[in-house]
Amino acid sequence: MNLIEFKNLLRKFSCEEVNDILWQWNNPHILGSIEAYQQFKDTFSEYIQINNVDDIRIVGSSLLGFSLAPQKFGKSISETSDVDIAVISDIRFDEAWEELVRHNTKLNWSKSVGQKNILENKSRMNMSCLFWGFIRPDLLPGVHGKMWNDALMKLGKFPGLESYPAKARLYRKNLFAHIYHTYSLRILKSQLV
């Protein structure tokens, strides 16, 4: 789907319907084929130990080849782009949330002011993400943060993704991913009118 087709889709259908279409899109621009996408999902699901590969989705500019972020809408994917991945897992979300809460309760006992400031900033970012129903697992401290960061780094060796850093949003439920992405589509649609 190109930018003109996407704009027409957004004009013709509700934001919820467009989001559903994008969520089912099985041929991300960045990978170039349905087969490569399936291999990507199989590989990443092993890295993060998720059983259902359908709970892993490439989103954003990596999906369509142009940005869907309202402030960069239509900008083509480039060497400065990253690969945005949505992951739905109540188990992984609860583990991450627990680690985040445990970490924040221990934060005041940190001895290094510099380390404390870095960790506080990462925690604060995740706290704002929680409003939208997701956690940025790459910002987690401890074991879970290491697992996610290792998995995202390994994706840099996946064919087609070698020059793009990967970022993930971990959602507890599909509903929260749909709400978040539909909200962005509403902003885009209002800009098109």
* Number of domains composing the chain: 1
pLDDT band at 143, cuts 50/70/90? confident
CA distance 13 to 66: 20
pLDDT of 17 reads 97
Q: Is the pLDDT of residue 190 over 50?
A: yes
- DSSP-H helix ranges across the chain: 3-12, 15-23, 34-48, 61-64, 90-106, 113-131, 142-154, 174-192
Q: What is the mean pLDDT of residues 4-24?
A: 95
- Helix 142-154 with 90-106: angle, nearest 10 deg: 130
Name the residue with higher pLDDT: 143 or 169.
169
Q: What is the mean pLDDT of the chain?
A: 88
pLDDT for residue 121 = 58
Quickly tell me which residue has 């087609």 as its tokens: 160
What share of the chain has pLDDT > 70, as a percent? 87
What is the average per-residue pLDDT within 46-56?
A: 94
Residue 154: domain span: 3-192
Q: According to the model, what pLDDT value does residue 15 have?
A: 96
Name the region of 142 (left: φ>0; alpha: ψ -120 to 50; beta: rest). Answer: left
Q: Which residues pair with 167 in a beta bridge?
A: 84
- With a cut of 50, say whether residue 109 has pLDDT above it: no
pLDDT above 80 for 128: no
